[in-house]
Chain A
Amino acid sequence: MNKSLILAAALTAATALTSPAFAQTVLRVDEVAVGELDPAKASDYADSILMFNVYDTLVLPRQGGPGYDPHLAGSWEADGANYTFTLRDDVTFQSGNPLRAADVVYSLERMQEIGQGLSHLFTGVTAEAVDEHTVRFTLDEPYAPFVASLVRLPIVDQVLVAENATEDDPWAEGYLSGNAAGSGAYTVTSHNPQDVTVMALNEGYFLPINDAAPDQVRLRYSLEAATVRTLLSQGEHDIASQWLPPEVIRALAADGAQLFTESGTGAFYVKMNTQRAPLDDVNCRLALSHAFDYGTALQMVAINEEVSSGSAPTGAIPVGMYGSNPAEMALERDMDAARAYLEACPYDPADFNLEISWIAEVPLEERFALLMQANFAELGISSSIETLPWALFTERVASPENTPHISQIFVNAVTGDPDTLLFGMYHSSTPGTWQSPEYLADDQVDAALEAGRRGPGEEDREAAYAALNERLMELAPTIYGYDRQSVFAASDRVNAPALSDPAMAFGVDGMGFSFRLMEMTE
């Protein structure tokens, strides 16, 4: 099956060549399965890579600074809760169909109806096509980061999707889970969500693409760390996923690999299930969050003197975002406080037996699991460590009874705005996703989150998120492990300015993997 897929991909790629004299450049990268190709369901990093390359959005984050630039949209105007976008008239989908305002409306409705992935960003948003190239969004209530959220609204080709819809599958989910219907810089040659996605450069892309951009990209899923390590050293892989353990990245860097970084303004969160005893009690949770060894955690994720995947946490919100505490207020381990909180905890520590889970694809988390087990053992709390593959984890968190006591998650602001980091994790209306295994339900948290997204001014948002941060520190649903950036080991066959030059960085997770901006050097 695999071989035939690869063969088919190679054949397609070969026939697509106009001049056989040119060698195809191939970029090889990896991520964790499952690679969700349906843009309405995209949520994690692998999905984002697919989405940002196969589909386009109305706006893009400005490289190297705050704000958003037009992309599929030529321009836009905001008027209270109404946003009017004028689309470019020179865009065609990979199918050859032209981009119309109706496609934007359809993409939004499709996402809302399917209700998965990041559809929660678009609750209460309606769209209408004013004319062929003008689309107007109307928001039920003011949502300050609306333009930011449009980087997560991939535009699908309505004509093509509708052709493939059936009575049982009105949104053509079956079709879009294996085929592309976008306008993006890369077309999908083949797609197996557990194994590999092969993409090829879209010659008809509406923007000019650097000649050095890879002609073909092979995105492989769930490779073992040792495999990636060996492939990279042998020159048979190009960019390793960020989930390699620090030791392996360190060894690769020592062998001459370059290190790419991407800050998606996110953090490493150790999430506690607030619906299961003993963690349904705030004092028990505070005891754990004070017993966590923050200093050792930071040592563990340092790659070398210059590059680290983490910096000291100061609270629930990463430093630099609205409402965050200053960098000097770093959280520290405090065993006396931990013991005092444990005294106030109504459960007997001897009966705790906490389930500490870690995601099987992220070996680093196993070490955090052991660190926590040792940290908590000092308080007399026993715990067991459980390995969960990502797919199983996302299934388990759907109900509070099956959600482990402790889950370890890396979360980023999916649009770069704090609303998209925090709302999905802590608002009581979004429990039971991989982002929210806390099952937190607190009125003050809800109110602050709502005020934060309402805005409208920067000061309002700053105040709302500062209040939220304080409340989240009191409630301690989460151990705020460290503020995080992603580090990728890469071969010297590829340059990726968006991942190496701060002036070119997008500040949105996964967008640095816009392959059209990369350059192959051989």
Chain B
Amino acid sequence: MTRALRIIAANPLSLTGLILVLAIVLAALFAPWIAPFPTHNSAVVDFAYANSAPNGRNWMGTDLVGRDIFSRILYAYRISLGLGIVVLIIATPIGTIVGLLAGYLGGWTESVLMRLVDVFLSIPPLVLAIAVLGVLEPTLTNAMIAVTVMWWPWYARLVYSIARSEREEGYVLAAEVIGAPTTHIAFREILPNCLPAIITKMTLDMGFVIIIASSLSFLGLGVQPPTPDLGSMVAEGARYLPDSWWMTVFPGLAILFAVFGFNLLGDGLRDVLGADE
């Protein structure tokens, strides 16, 4: 653990990523205590302070109904991170199991599973998510489902490629010779060798999930008002550019920092885990 920290700290970019991610996670966790206007995450209007530029009271200005943008960004991080975590927690095991089975068993299992994966991968991700949300109602839960549907095939692909090369390795053959059951070989022998790649990808993906979820809500398909969401804040503010720039710039920067942070951290983790091999 300390060795991992040392490797990350040695690379200024990775360290920046770690700091950004920690800051965002803490901001999201403690939003109700940090936010100057914790009630502004819901259907509150305060027209006396509507559309004001950043000032001492509202550090990032207010939106058109007078809600504090800084407070809403903190709460929006909760939604974005929550969504990212849920999506990855669901998508990763599904993709991993599919990839492991296909990669280790081969034969018709491989053909069926991987062609199914190809079907999903052949549809542009945002289009797939929009289609799912078109059928379902646009809500937070359904946005999670939509993003999960488009995400698991990438894990299947990743794990499949690793499992395929690992199944020819000596330790797998040895396990087969002593008669270990298939599930043991797949999950206890091969899976641990896939984990570094999976964890790295999860960290990198956190940023991308946040972008996709924001894109969906930018299009009005994700989180619905009055719940704050970075994508819908950008969409709403874009109409008032360039005069009320703060409505777009700060939520946009918030997305940038999140994606940037998780990407840099992901790269750092790759160094850490790669060094383990």
Residues of A within 8 A of B (CB): 224-226, 229-230, 245, 247-248, 251, 296, 299-300, 360, 363, 366-367, 369-371, 373-374, 377, 383-387
Q: How far is the CB of B130 from chain A (nearest CB, A)?
A: 14
Contact between chains at B220 and A387 (CB < 8 Å): yes
Q: Which of B133-190 contact A (CB under 8 A)?
A: none
Which residues of B lie under 8 Å from residue A245 when comparing CB positions? 64, 239-240
Which residues of A lie under 8 Å from residue B45 when comparing CB positions? 296, 370-371, 374
Contact between chains at B224 and A248 (CB < 8 Å): no
Which residues of B lie under 8 Å from residue A251 when comparing CB positions? 243
Contact between chains at A300 and B47 (CB < 8 Å): yes
Tell yes or no: B123 within 8 A of A by CB. no
Contact between chains at B242 and A369 (CB < 8 Å): no
Which residues of B lie under 8 Å from residue A230 when comparing CB positions? 242
Q: Which of B203-231 contact A (CB under 8 A)?
A: 220, 224-226
Q: How far is the CB of A409 from chain B (nearest CB, A)?
A: 20
Contact between chains at B64 and A367 (CB < 8 Å): yes
Q: Could you list 29 A-B pairs, sorted by A, with CB under 8 Å?
A: A224-B238, A225-B239, A226-B239, A226-B241, A226-B242, A229-B242, A230-B242, A245-B239, A247-B64, A247-B240, A247-B244, A248-B243, A296-B45, A296-B47, A299-B47, A360-B220, A363-B239, A366-B225, A367-B64, A369-B225, A370-B43, A370-B45, A371-B45, A371-B65, A373-B226, A374-B43, A384-B224, A385-B224, A387-B220
Contact between chains at B65 and A370 (CB < 8 Å): yes
Contact between chains at A385 and B47 (CB < 8 Å): no
Residues of B within 8 A of A (CB): 42-45, 47, 51, 64-65, 220, 224-226, 236, 238-244
Q: How far is the CB of A294 from chain B (nearest CB, A)?
A: 13
Which residues of A lie under 8 Å from residue B239 when comparing CB positions? 224-226, 245, 248, 363
CA distance A224 to B45 in the complex (A): 25
Which residues of B lie under 8 Å from residue A374 when comparing CB positions? 43-45, 65
Q: How far is the CB of A478 from chain B (nearest CB, A)?
A: 22
**Which of these, A247, A371, A373, A377, contacts B243 with CB under 8 Å?**
A247
Which residues of A lie under 8 Å from residue B244 when comparing CB positions? 247
**Which of these, B43, B47, B240, contacts A226 with CB under 8 Å?**
B240
Which residues of A lie under 8 Å from residue B226 when comparing CB positions? 370, 373, 385
Contact between chains at A225 and B240 (CB < 8 Å): yes
Which residues of A lie under 8 Å from residue B51 when comparing CB positions? 247
The dominant DSSP class at the A interface is helix
Cβ-Cβ contact count across A and B, 8 Å cutoff = 59
Q: How far is the CB of B63 from chain A (nearest CB, A)?
A: 9
Contact between chains at B240 and A377 (CB < 8 Å): no
Which residues of B lie under 8 Å from residue A229 when comparing CB positions? 241-243
Among A224, A360, A367, A369, max chain B CB count under 10 A is at A367
Which residues of A lie under 8 Å from residue B42 when comparing CB positions? 377
CA distance A360 to B240 in the complex (A): 14
Which residues of A lie under 8 Å from residue B47 when comparing CB positions? 296, 299-300
Q: How far is the CB of A266 from chain B (nearest CB, A)?
A: 24
CA distance A207 to B224 in the complex (A): 54
Which residues of B lie under 8 Å from residue A367 when comparing CB positions? 64-65
CA distance A468 to B43 in the complex (A): 35
Q: How far is the CB of A427 from chain B (nearest CB, A)?
A: 33
CA distance A458 to B111 in the complex (A): 82
Which residues of A lie under 8 Å from residue B65 when comparing CB positions? 367, 370-371, 374
Q: How far is the CB of B88 from chain A (nearest CB, A)?
A: 27
**Which of these, B43, B236, B240, contacts A373 with CB under 8 Å?**
B43
Residue of B nearest to A366 (CB): B236
Which residues of A lie under 8 Å from residue B236 when comparing CB positions? 366
Which residues of B lie under 8 Å from residue A383 when comparing CB positions? 43
Q: How far is the CB of B266 from chain A (nearest CB, A)?
A: 34
Among A251, A360, A374, max chain B CB count under 10 A is at A374
Contact between chains at B242 and A370 (CB < 8 Å): no
Which residues of B lie under 8 Å from residue A247 when comparing CB positions? 51, 64, 240, 243-244
Given contacts A247-B244, A384-B224, A385-B224, 4 further A-B contacts (CB under 8 A): A226-B241, A299-B47, A300-B47, A369-B225
CA distance A300 to B47 in the complex (A): 8
Which residues of B lie under 8 Å from residue A225 when comparing CB positions? 239-240
Contact between chains at B64 and A377 (CB < 8 Å): no
CA distance A383 to B45 in the complex (A): 15
CA distance A225 to B242 in the complex (A): 10
CA distance A248 to B247 in the complex (A): 14
CA distance A383 to B244 in the complex (A): 28
Q: How far is the CB of A251 from chain B (nearest CB, A)?
A: 4
8 pairs of A and B residues whose beta carbons are closest in the complex: A373-B43, A251-B243, A225-B239, A226-B241, A374-B45, A385-B225, A374-B43, A377-B43
Which residues of B lie under 8 Å from residue A300 when comparing CB positions? 47
Residue of A nearest to B225 (CB): A385
CA distance A300 to B225 in the complex (A): 19
Residue of B nearest to A371 (CB): B45
CA distance A385 to B232 in the complex (A): 13
Residue of B nearest to A251 (CB): B243
CA distance A230 to B239 in the complex (A): 11
Which residues of B lie under 8 Å from residue A386 when comparing CB positions? 224
Q: How far is the CB of A465 from chain B (nearest CB, A)?
A: 33
A299-B47, A300-B47, A373-B43 known; A226-B225 Cβ under 8 A: no
Q: How far is the CB of A74 from chain B (nearest CB, A)?
A: 48
Among A224, A226, A377, max chain B CB count under 10 A is at A226
Q: How far is the CB of A77 from chain B (nearest CB, A)?
A: 52
Which residues of B lie under 8 Å from residue A366 when comparing CB positions? 225, 236
CA distance A39 to B247 in the complex (A): 41
Which residues of A lie under 8 Å from residue B238 when comparing CB positions? 224, 226
CA distance A230 to B241 in the complex (A): 9
Q: How far is the CB of B20 from chain A (nearest CB, A)?
A: 29
Q: How far is the CB of B265 from chain A (nearest CB, A)?
A: 34
CA distance A300 to B42 in the complex (A): 20
Which residues of B lie under 8 Å from residue A296 when comparing CB positions? 45, 47
Q: How far is the CB of B111 from chain A (nearest CB, A)?
A: 42
Q: How far is the CB of A432 from chain B (nearest CB, A)?
A: 23
Residue of A nearest to B238 (CB): A226
Q: How far is the CB of A90 from chain B (nearest CB, A)?
A: 48
Residue of A nearest to B243 (CB): A251
CA distance A360 to B236 in the complex (A): 11
CA distance A52 to B66 in the complex (A): 41
Which residues of A lie under 8 Å from residue B240 when comparing CB positions? 225-226, 245, 247-248
CA distance A239 to B43 in the complex (A): 35
Q: How far is the CB of A222 from chain B (nearest CB, A)?
A: 13
CA distance A124 to B8 in the complex (A): 83
Which residues of B lie under 8 Å from residue A299 when comparing CB positions? 47
Q: How far is the CB of A230 from chain B (nearest CB, A)?
A: 7
CA distance A363 to B232 in the complex (A): 13
Which residues of A lie under 8 Å from residue B242 when comparing CB positions? 226, 229-230
CA distance A384 to B139 in the complex (A): 10
CA distance A299 to B45 in the complex (A): 13
CA distance A248 to B225 in the complex (A): 22
Q: How far is the CB of A42 from chain B (nearest CB, A)?
A: 28
